[in-house]
Amino acid sequence: MNFLSHYYFDKNSTKPERVLGLILPDLIHQHNKTWVFKPEKNLALYSGKTLDLLEGWKRHKAIDKYFHNSPYFKSQTQIIKEKLHTAFLKSPVWAFFLAHITLELTLDSLLITENLIDVEAFYSKLDQVDRDSLVEFLNINEVSEPESFLDFYTEFLNSGYLFKYRNPAELTYPLGRICFKIWKEKFTEEEVFSLRETILDFCKENRSKFLEIYEYIEIQLKNDLNCMVKSA
Protein backbone atom coordinates (compact mmCIF):
# COMPACT_ATOMS: atom_id res chain seq x y z
CA MET A 1 0.00 0.00 0.00
CA ASN A 2 1.03 3.58 -0.54
CA PHE A 3 1.64 6.33 2.04
CA LEU A 4 -1.91 7.52 2.63
CA SER A 5 -3.36 4.03 2.78
CA HIS A 6 -0.91 3.12 5.53
CA TYR A 7 -1.80 6.32 7.36
CA TYR A 8 -5.50 5.44 7.17
CA PHE A 9 -5.06 2.68 9.76
CA ASP A 10 -3.62 5.06 12.38
CA LYS A 11 -5.03 8.40 11.23
CA ASN A 12 -6.19 9.17 14.78
CA SER A 13 -2.80 8.57 16.34
CA THR A 14 -1.39 11.45 18.38
CA LYS A 15 2.15 10.08 18.16
CA PRO A 16 4.04 11.62 15.21
CA GLU A 17 6.76 8.98 15.35
CA ARG A 18 4.17 6.20 15.13
CA VAL A 19 2.73 7.87 12.02
CA LEU A 20 6.17 8.18 10.44
CA GLY A 21 6.89 4.54 11.23
CA LEU A 22 3.86 3.61 9.16
CA ILE A 23 5.51 4.96 6.00
CA LEU A 24 9.18 4.79 6.94
CA PRO A 25 10.02 1.52 5.13
CA ASP A 26 8.93 3.06 1.82
CA LEU A 27 10.70 6.37 2.51
CA ILE A 28 13.90 4.53 3.40
CA HIS A 29 13.69 2.55 0.17
CA GLN A 30 13.30 5.75 -1.84
CA HIS A 31 16.21 7.42 -0.09
CA ASN A 32 18.80 4.65 -0.04
CA LYS A 33 18.10 1.20 -1.48
CA THR A 34 21.38 -0.15 -0.03
CA TRP A 35 20.26 0.29 3.58
CA VAL A 36 19.26 -3.06 5.07
CA PHE A 37 16.93 -2.98 8.06
CA LYS A 38 16.35 -5.67 10.67
CA PRO A 39 14.57 -3.62 13.36
CA GLU A 40 13.80 -6.66 15.53
CA LYS A 41 17.53 -7.39 15.91
CA ASN A 42 18.10 -5.01 18.84
CA LEU A 43 14.71 -4.74 20.54
CA ALA A 44 16.21 -3.80 23.92
CA LEU A 45 17.61 -0.56 22.43
CA TYR A 46 14.19 0.93 21.61
CA SER A 47 12.31 3.14 24.03
CA GLY A 48 10.01 6.14 23.92
CA LYS A 49 9.88 7.70 20.47
CA THR A 50 12.17 5.18 18.83
CA LEU A 51 9.79 2.48 20.07
CA ASP A 52 6.92 4.39 18.46
CA LEU A 53 8.86 4.36 15.19
CA LEU A 54 9.41 0.62 15.55
CA GLU A 55 5.73 -0.06 16.24
CA GLY A 56 4.74 1.94 13.16
CA TRP A 57 7.35 0.09 11.09
CA LYS A 58 6.02 -3.31 12.19
CA ARG A 59 2.46 -2.24 11.43
CA HIS A 60 3.53 -1.15 7.94
CA LYS A 61 4.98 -4.60 7.27
CA ALA A 62 1.85 -6.34 8.53
CA ILE A 63 -0.44 -4.13 6.42
CA ASP A 64 1.59 -4.78 3.26
CA LYS A 65 1.62 -8.52 3.93
CA TYR A 66 -2.15 -8.72 4.22
CA PHE A 67 -2.72 -6.37 1.29
CA HIS A 68 -0.46 -8.18 -1.16
CA ASN A 69 -1.82 -11.60 -0.22
CA SER A 70 -5.49 -10.57 -0.32
CA PRO A 71 -7.95 -11.76 -2.98
CA TYR A 72 -8.77 -8.07 -3.53
CA PHE A 73 -5.21 -7.21 -4.53
CA LYS A 74 -4.93 -10.16 -6.86
CA SER A 75 -8.26 -9.59 -8.58
CA GLN A 76 -7.95 -5.82 -8.96
CA THR A 77 -4.39 -5.85 -10.28
CA GLN A 78 -5.49 -8.41 -12.85
CA ILE A 79 -8.40 -6.21 -13.96
CA ILE A 80 -6.16 -3.16 -14.27
CA LYS A 81 -3.50 -5.14 -16.14
CA GLU A 82 -6.04 -6.38 -18.66
CA LYS A 83 -7.39 -2.88 -19.28
CA LEU A 84 -3.87 -1.53 -19.92
CA HIS A 85 -2.71 -4.49 -21.98
CA THR A 86 -3.28 -3.13 -25.49
CA ALA A 87 -1.90 0.38 -24.90
CA PHE A 88 1.25 -0.90 -23.16
CA LEU A 89 1.86 -3.86 -25.44
CA LYS A 90 5.14 -2.37 -26.76
CA SER A 91 6.20 -0.78 -23.48
CA PRO A 92 9.18 -2.14 -21.51
CA VAL A 93 7.24 -1.50 -18.29
CA TRP A 94 6.23 -4.71 -16.52
CA ALA A 95 2.46 -5.02 -16.74
CA PHE A 96 2.04 -6.40 -13.22
CA PHE A 97 4.25 -3.68 -11.72
CA LEU A 98 2.25 -0.92 -13.40
CA ALA A 99 -1.07 -2.47 -12.36
CA HIS A 100 0.25 -2.84 -8.81
CA ILE A 101 1.31 0.80 -8.34
CA THR A 102 -1.74 2.08 -10.21
CA LEU A 103 -3.98 0.28 -7.74
CA GLU A 104 -2.06 1.64 -4.75
CA LEU A 105 -2.04 5.28 -5.86
CA THR A 106 -5.69 5.13 -6.90
CA LEU A 107 -6.69 3.81 -3.48
CA ASP A 108 -4.84 6.76 -1.92
CA SER A 109 -6.75 9.12 -4.19
CA LEU A 110 -10.09 7.58 -3.24
CA LEU A 111 -9.33 8.04 0.46
CA ILE A 112 -8.89 11.76 -0.21
CA THR A 113 -11.85 12.29 -2.54
CA GLU A 114 -14.15 10.39 -0.18
CA ASN A 115 -12.94 12.55 2.76
CA LEU A 116 -11.67 9.58 4.72
CA ILE A 117 -8.29 11.13 5.52
CA ASP A 118 -6.92 14.64 5.96
CA VAL A 119 -3.70 15.07 3.98
CA GLU A 120 -2.85 18.32 5.76
CA ALA A 121 -3.11 16.57 9.14
CA PHE A 122 -0.89 13.79 7.81
CA TYR A 123 1.86 16.22 6.86
CA SER A 124 1.41 18.17 10.09
CA LYS A 125 2.02 15.07 12.19
CA LEU A 126 5.09 14.14 10.16
CA ASP A 127 6.49 17.63 10.64
CA GLN A 128 6.26 17.16 14.43
CA VAL A 129 8.54 14.12 14.40
CA ASP A 130 11.55 14.43 16.71
CA ARG A 131 14.53 14.40 14.35
CA ASP A 132 16.98 13.26 17.02
CA SER A 133 14.82 10.21 17.73
CA LEU A 134 14.65 9.51 14.01
CA VAL A 135 18.44 9.56 13.72
CA GLU A 136 18.68 7.38 16.84
CA PHE A 137 16.33 4.85 15.21
CA LEU A 138 18.56 4.79 12.13
CA ASN A 139 21.67 4.40 14.31
CA ILE A 140 20.10 1.44 16.12
CA ASN A 141 19.71 -0.15 12.69
CA GLU A 142 23.38 0.49 11.91
CA VAL A 143 22.98 2.29 8.60
CA SER A 144 25.73 4.42 7.07
CA GLU A 145 25.39 8.20 7.35
CA PRO A 146 21.95 8.24 9.00
CA GLU A 147 21.87 12.06 9.06
CA SER A 148 21.65 12.03 5.25
CA PHE A 149 18.04 10.92 5.59
CA LEU A 150 17.04 14.19 7.28
CA ASP A 151 17.51 16.29 4.13
CA PHE A 152 15.51 13.76 2.13
CA TYR A 153 12.77 13.78 4.77
CA THR A 154 12.59 17.59 4.78
CA GLU A 155 12.30 17.59 1.00
CA PHE A 156 9.51 15.01 1.17
CA LEU A 157 7.56 17.22 3.60
CA ASN A 158 8.16 20.44 1.69
CA SER A 159 7.11 18.96 -1.66
CA GLY A 160 3.62 18.10 -0.40
CA TYR A 161 3.13 16.08 -3.56
CA LEU A 162 0.49 13.84 -2.00
CA PHE A 163 -1.94 16.76 -2.21
CA LYS A 164 -1.93 16.19 -5.99
CA TYR A 165 -3.63 12.83 -5.44
CA ARG A 166 -6.88 14.75 -4.92
CA ASN A 167 -7.39 14.56 -8.68
CA PRO A 168 -7.22 10.92 -9.84
CA ALA A 169 -6.81 12.01 -13.46
CA GLU A 170 -3.41 13.47 -12.52
CA LEU A 171 -2.07 10.19 -11.15
CA THR A 172 -0.63 9.43 -14.58
CA TYR A 173 2.20 11.88 -13.79
CA PRO A 174 3.60 10.21 -10.63
CA LEU A 175 3.05 6.79 -12.20
CA GLY A 176 5.03 7.92 -15.22
CA ARG A 177 7.84 9.24 -13.01
CA ILE A 178 8.07 5.99 -11.06
CA CYS A 179 8.32 3.93 -14.25
CA PHE A 180 10.76 6.36 -15.89
CA LYS A 181 13.20 5.96 -12.99
CA ILE A 182 13.32 2.23 -13.70
CA TRP A 183 12.98 1.92 -17.49
CA LYS A 184 14.14 5.40 -18.64
CA GLU A 185 11.27 5.67 -21.09
CA LYS A 186 8.38 8.14 -20.97
CA PHE A 187 4.78 7.09 -21.50
CA THR A 188 3.37 7.77 -24.95
CA GLU A 189 0.18 9.81 -25.38
CA GLU A 190 -1.74 6.59 -26.01
CA GLU A 191 -0.36 5.04 -22.83
CA VAL A 192 -1.21 8.12 -20.75
CA PHE A 193 -4.73 8.20 -22.15
CA SER A 194 -5.30 4.49 -21.45
CA LEU A 195 -3.87 4.82 -17.94
CA ARG A 196 -6.02 7.85 -17.14
CA GLU A 197 -9.19 6.17 -18.40
CA THR A 198 -8.40 3.03 -16.43
CA ILE A 199 -7.90 5.04 -13.23
CA LEU A 200 -11.12 7.01 -13.71
CA ASP A 201 -13.06 3.82 -14.49
CA PHE A 202 -11.66 2.20 -11.35
CA CYS A 203 -12.72 5.17 -9.22
CA LYS A 204 -16.20 5.14 -10.69
CA GLU A 205 -16.67 1.41 -10.30
CA ASN A 206 -15.14 1.11 -6.82
CA ARG A 207 -16.11 4.31 -5.02
CA SER A 208 -18.81 2.52 -3.04
CA LYS A 209 -16.85 -0.66 -2.32
CA PHE A 210 -13.10 0.04 -2.18
CA LEU A 211 -13.16 0.19 1.62
CA GLU A 212 -13.59 -3.57 1.70
CA ILE A 213 -9.82 -4.02 1.46
CA TYR A 214 -9.23 -1.71 4.44
CA GLU A 215 -11.90 -3.53 6.45
CA TYR A 216 -10.30 -6.85 5.55
CA ILE A 217 -6.86 -5.69 6.70
CA GLU A 218 -8.26 -4.20 9.91
CA ILE A 219 -9.74 -7.59 10.79
CA GLN A 220 -6.38 -9.28 10.20
CA LEU A 221 -4.59 -6.70 12.36
CA LYS A 222 -7.11 -7.19 15.18
CA ASN A 223 -6.64 -10.95 14.95
CA ASP A 224 -2.89 -10.44 15.28
CA LEU A 225 -3.42 -8.28 18.36
CA ASN A 226 -5.75 -10.84 19.94
CA CYS A 227 -3.21 -13.59 19.37
CA MET A 228 -0.50 -11.47 21.02
CA VAL A 229 -2.71 -10.84 24.05
CA LYS A 230 -3.56 -14.52 24.43
CA SER A 231 0.09 -15.55 24.19
CA ALA A 232 1.26 -12.90 26.67
Cβ 16 vs Cβ 128: under 8 Å: yes
Taking the C-alpha atoms of residue 67 and residue 61, their distance in angstroms, rounded to an integer, is: 10
What b/e string do you get for 111-134 counting C-beta neighbours within 10 Å, with b at 16 or more? bbeeeebebeebbebbeebbeebb
Closest CA to 60 of 105, 5, 99: 5
Q: What is the pLDDT along the chain (232 residues), one digit of tens a residue?
A: 999 999 999 999 999 999 999 999 999 999 999 998 989 888 999 999 999 999 999 999 999 999 999 999 999 999 999 999 999 999 999 999 999 999 999 999 999 999 999 999 999 999 999 999 999 999 999 999 999 999 999 999 999 999 999 999 999 999 999 999 999 999 999 999 999 999 999 999 999 999 999 999 999 999 887 766 555 5
Q: Choose among 37, 42, 41: nearest CA to 60.
A: 37
Q: Where exactly are the structural domains of the chain?
A: 3-231
